[in-house]
């Protein structure tokens, strides 16, 4: 499997700092080309959010270079991947929380990660950043770990009510703010000519799935330049609709 990738980030119209951090890493291995993408959104209401997200991204990058090669050599067991990712997230959470205690501030971050090995994808999720898979439509692949998602799951809130609920950004888990973090994991099969999108909540609050499909389906994304240009267009659309958070996204097209 080969890949075409792009990413874009903007501080937005309200915040003074960009608290989002991202990475895209690729390697040629005995298992073929592998790709890891990750996006972390430092919590907007917490101090030093940009440090929390950058710390988690650094740990994910270290895992890619140090742990993944050994996992591939041993035959790549999915359960071992989940165990390593769960340990990684909780190590990061402890590190971020301990640093926050030392400097007497609260800080935390969400995290989504996508790993593609062979014809399979693997997803990690903590918080409310998201992974989408764009095929013949825009499919949300992660479930938000939020108060409003829990209320919707319990039948106490409709999706329409959740959009405008004052607690829509309240997280049930946060790396650094939750001492024990339980990530969500998922996996599936990937095919050529599909598009994955990782994004922070600021990128998708005011954009519909159909608008994402129109901008990011595989037939439209004919080059890296088009990918970047369409990310910029969606960012401008967010800003025109008064999105006040940081705005960040990653695109991966399979070839």
Separation of alpha carbons 86 and 37, rounded Å: 17
The pLDDT value recorded for residue 23 is: 98
pLDDT one-digit tens code per residue, 49-88: 999 999 999 999 999 999 999 999 999 999 999 999 999 9
The vertex-27 CA angle with 252 and 192, nearest 5°, equals: 40
Q: Each residue of 123-168: pLDDT tens digit?
A: 999 999 999 999 999 999 999 999 999 999 999 999 888 888 888 8
Q: What is the pLDDT of residues 172-185, one digit of tens each?
A: 999 998 878 999 99
Of the pLDDT bands very low, low, confident and very high (cuts 50, 70, 90), residue 44 is: low
User: What pLDDT shows up at residue 163?
Assistant: 81
Is the predicted pLDDT of residue 45 greater than 70, yes or no?
A: no
User: Mean of the pLDDT values across residues 199-225?
Assistant: 97
- What is the pLDDT at residue 47? 66
Q: What percent of the chain clears pLDDT 70, i.e. is strictly above it?
A: 98
Beta bridge partners of 115: 36, 122
Residue by residue, DSSP assigns the chain as --EEEEEEEE--SS-SS--EEEEEEEEEETTEEEEEEEEEEB-TTSTTHHHHHHHHHHHHHHHHHHTHHHHHHTT--HHHHHHHHHHHHHHHHHHHHHHHHHHT----B-EEEEEEETTEEEEEEESS-EEEEESSSEEE-S---BHHHHHHHTTSS-HHHHHH-TTTT-BS--BTTBSS---EEEEEE--SS-EEEEE-HHHHTT--HHHHHHHHSTTT--SHHHHHHHHHHHHHHHHHTT--S-EEEEEEEE-
Joined together, the tokens standing for residue 187 give: 């996996």
| Measured distance CA(208)–CA(90) in Å, rounded | 33
């Amino acid at each position: 499997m080969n890949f075409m990738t792009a990413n874009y980030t903007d501080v937005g119209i309200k915040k003074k700092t960009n608290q989002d951090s991202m990475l895209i890493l690729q390697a040629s291995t005995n298992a073929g080309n592998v790709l890891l993408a990750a996006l972390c959104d430092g919590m907007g209401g917490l101090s030093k959010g940009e440090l929390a997200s950058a710390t988690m991204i650094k740990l994910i990058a270290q895992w890619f270079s140090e742990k993944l090669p050994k996992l591939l050599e041993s035959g790549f067991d999915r359960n071992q991947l989940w165990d390593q990712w769960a340990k990684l997230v909780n190590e990061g959470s402890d590190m971020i929380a301990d640093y926050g205690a030392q400097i007497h501030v609260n800080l935390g971050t969400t995290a989504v990660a996508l790993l593609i090995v062979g014809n399979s994808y693997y997803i990690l999720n903590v918080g409310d950043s998201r992974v989408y898979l764009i095929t013949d439509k825009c499919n949300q692949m992660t479930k938000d770990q939020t108060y409003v998602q829990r209320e919707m799951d319990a039948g106490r809130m409709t999706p329409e009510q959740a959009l405008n609920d004052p607690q829509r950004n309240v997280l049930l888990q946060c790396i650094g703010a939750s001492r024990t973090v339980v990530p969500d994991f998922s996996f599936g099969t990937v095919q050529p000519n599909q598009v994955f999108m990782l994004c922070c909540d600021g990128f998708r609050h005011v954009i519909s799935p159909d608008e994402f499909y129109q901008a990011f389906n595989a037939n439209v994304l004919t080059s890296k330049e088009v990918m970047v240009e369409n990310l910029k267009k969606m960012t401008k659309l967010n800003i025109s609709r008064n999105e006040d958070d940081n705005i960040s996204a990653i695109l991966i097209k399979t070839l």
